Every structure is written in C-alpha cells, then in structure tokens.
Amino acid sequence: MISFLMLLALTLAQPVAPAHWCYQSQSQTTACTGPDNWPGYCQGKQQSPIDINTDKTMLNVSLVPFQFTDYDKRESRIIENNGHSVEVKLENSIKISGGGLQETYKAVAFHLHWSDALDEGSEHTIDGQSGAMELHIVHIKDKYKNVSEALAGNGNDEIAVLGFLIKASHGNNTGFTNLVESLSKVQYQSNNTHLKEFSLFDLIPRIDKLKNYYRYWGSLTTPNCDEKVIWTVFHEPILLHMNQILEFSKKLYYNLESDKKISMADNFRNTQQLGGRQVFTSGVGIPLPHAWPTLLAPLLTYLLAVFLY
C-alpha cells in the first residue's frame, strides 16, 4: 500500500498536459484549456516565444555558422494535421552542429504557426513586428531516442529549435508548393498524407543567408512548455506568396471531420516576458565585453595613423 501511495504521489507531482489544450482562437468556440490556464511549466519565467528587441541584443562571437547534415536529403515524408498545426516527422540522419551549440542535435519534426491575416501569425516577434507565419524545425540532442527522453534530461538545452519568420511576398515560393498543395488532404485532425520528395533546404533561406541569427534559452511554446529549449531565430525570413500563406487558414481545421468545423487560424502563442534573460546575436548588437579589444583594434590603428601623419 505504501509503495502504491508513493507512486501515486509521484504521478500527481508531474505536470501533465490536459487531453484538450487549445489556442485562444479555439477556446472562444469550444470547451478547452486556453493559454491562460495551460498546465505544466507554462506559467514559468523562462518561457517562449519572446519579442526580440534588436537594440538590446548582445553580440556573441561564439555564434558561428551552423553545419547542416542531410538538410539537402530529398525524401517523401508524411504530413499530419495533429489538431494544433501541420507536422512533418523527420528521420534522425538530419542533424545540426556548430552554431554555438555544445553538441550535435538531430531533427525530429517541423511544424508551422499562422493566422488568417498577413500582419500576424508568427510566435516570435522582432522589434514588435510579427511575421505572417513561423516555421519551427525541432531537434533533440543526438544521444536521445525521442522528445520524451530529451525532456527527461536535466539541461536547459536538451532541445534545439530553429525558428524562421515567414513574410508575404509577390513571388511564389516553389519550395513550398508541394506542402501547400497537400493541405487539402489533411484538412482535419489526424488526417495525414505523403508529400512528394523534398529537402529542408527547399523550405528555408539559402545557407549563405543563415549566418546571422538570434539566440536565447526558453521553452516549448505548447504544453507542457518545458524550459529546456535553446532557441535560434534567424534574421533572414522565408518569403511566401500571400495566397500560399492564406491557404493554411482556409484549408485546415482544428477538429475531427465528424465535428463542427473550426478553422485552424491564430495557432500561435503570444510573446512572453523576457525577464532577466539575454538575447544574443551572431550579427550586429551590443558586443560582449571580451570582444571590445578585437573590435576596437582596427579603429585605434586607423586613428593613430591619422594622428602621426
């Protein structure tokens, strides 16, 4: 009996996501747990997403370019409507290293967030400005088998997410054609279909555009909002045609096909307080103190030459 009571106590002590959490837009039309009452760590102080104030970012010279493994691998993959977004599972051969990371991380999935408007939809904002969508590529440390195992780790960097804001443009993004055309086949929760062969490099900006990014430590943006994520948000946005962006809110629904249709729109979490955290950048920003001598040396050499002349 004592062993049973101890097991019960440990079970109750663990944060558990409800069977039906939802976004604010969905909570207005159905009975579910909205963001204000999300469980687990969702009310913590190291939460994501955030607004990135570029004037307060700090230059970190250790944030070197990423090394991408198998991001160019073209394969057919399954896309699924999981009731909160569309998600594509990825094989473990796709990996990232470098980028200021201390270990190699393997990709497990990617998903997107959006609105039914073009002036909001991303989770992160930059200087208060939203993107129309946001793409998240989720990775876990190479030593783990799955996300659950990574979340059981003790570090604040067990998961690495690459975030890309998506903005509307006048041109069609052919890299997304395959994905957008599949939406009509995954309209309802639990629907899935095979995508034609594609690579992750088809979706994101060119590799030479990925040298500049922001870095901070935060959380998952859905319950249980575990604060074990090292975030990378790239400066360079992904550009999609307006019609490609709006297809997501037009074609997709939160619910099962048998239920009343509820359009899948505004499936993003609002920005959270940064608190005492620092956002770093691999590009322009406020330099770290130890970087000052390196940055000032060329300027002092120039001024000295002018003075002696």
Residues taking part in catalysis: 84
- Looking at residue 169, its amino acid is S
Strands 192-194 and 280-281: unpaired
Per residue, the 3-state secondary structure of 10-49, as one string, reads HHHHCCCCCCCECCHHHHCCCCCECHHHCCCCCCCCCCCC
